[in-house]
Amino acid sequence: MASRKAPSSRSARLERTTKETSIRVALDLDGDGSFRGATGVAFFDHMLVLLARHGALSLEVQAKGDLDVECHHTVEDVGLAFGTVLAQAAGDKKGIRRYGHAVVPMEEALCECALDFCGRPFLHFGATFERPMIENYATEVTEDFFRAVANTAGLTLHLDCRRGRNAHHIVEGLFKAFARALRESVSADPRLTDVPSTKGVL
């Protein structure tokens, strides 16, 4: 088995346990695009694979939740944990680009993400789904996942589906657009040595 790269200084880990879920997340912003783990929701696992690959992250998520109720608690709590480690891994944000933007086509769907890693949580979510379920994944929890990430990471996050029909393509396009925008926002700008804000702090 190939050895994994040692975590960079921009990495973080978290274990989060409630009466509804048990979550373990590890994140490296300077990763190799790999994902390890399982949540019990296969389609959501697929989205996390895409998030790691297109975000150039190393991401590990192990989750056990009350899937006999539904997937909402598991997906949302993974979002809360991911956002928390994202903020921790970014640290003081010195030298990062801060802003990220991506437009991603996924066949008939066209999805866009614009984000500001500024410490001010906000989510605009402009996507609707004709299909309520993809296997045991409720499409409406896509918004809940990104709201949880925005709130705990401190992101101003705008996600839109400009057009689309297939729920799978729309959700996938949103995750890919977010991943690409996040990758840009946390990347280093060699011209910056301080926090990218006139206030001196983010």
Distances (CA, A) of 11 to 128, 153, 156, 164: 34, 14, 21, 35
Q: Answer whether 154's CB lies under 8 Å from 118's CB.
A: yes
- CA-to-CA distance for 75 and 60, rounded, in angstroms? 14
For the chain, the structural domain boundaries read 11-186
Residue 4 is predicted with a pLDDT of 60
Residue in the block written with tokens 């949540």: 39
Shortest CA distance to 75 belongs to which of 24, 137, 163, 2? 137
Residue 199 is predicted with a pLDDT of 74
Which amino acid, residue 142?
T
Residue 10 is predicted with a pLDDT of 96
Residue 1 is predicted with a pLDDT of 35
The model's pTM: 0.94
Strands 35-38, 99-106: pairing is unpaired
CATH fold group of domain 11-186: Ribosomal Protein S5; domain 2 (3.30.230)
- CA-to-CA distance for 63 and 76, rounded, in angstroms? 11
Taking 70 as the pLDDT cut, the residues of the chain under it are 1-5, 197-198
Residue 2 is predicted with a pLDDT of 44
Distances (CA, A) of 195 to 75, 94, 100, 186, 201: 32, 4, 15, 12, 6
Half-sphere exposure of 127 (CA within 13 A, CB side): 34
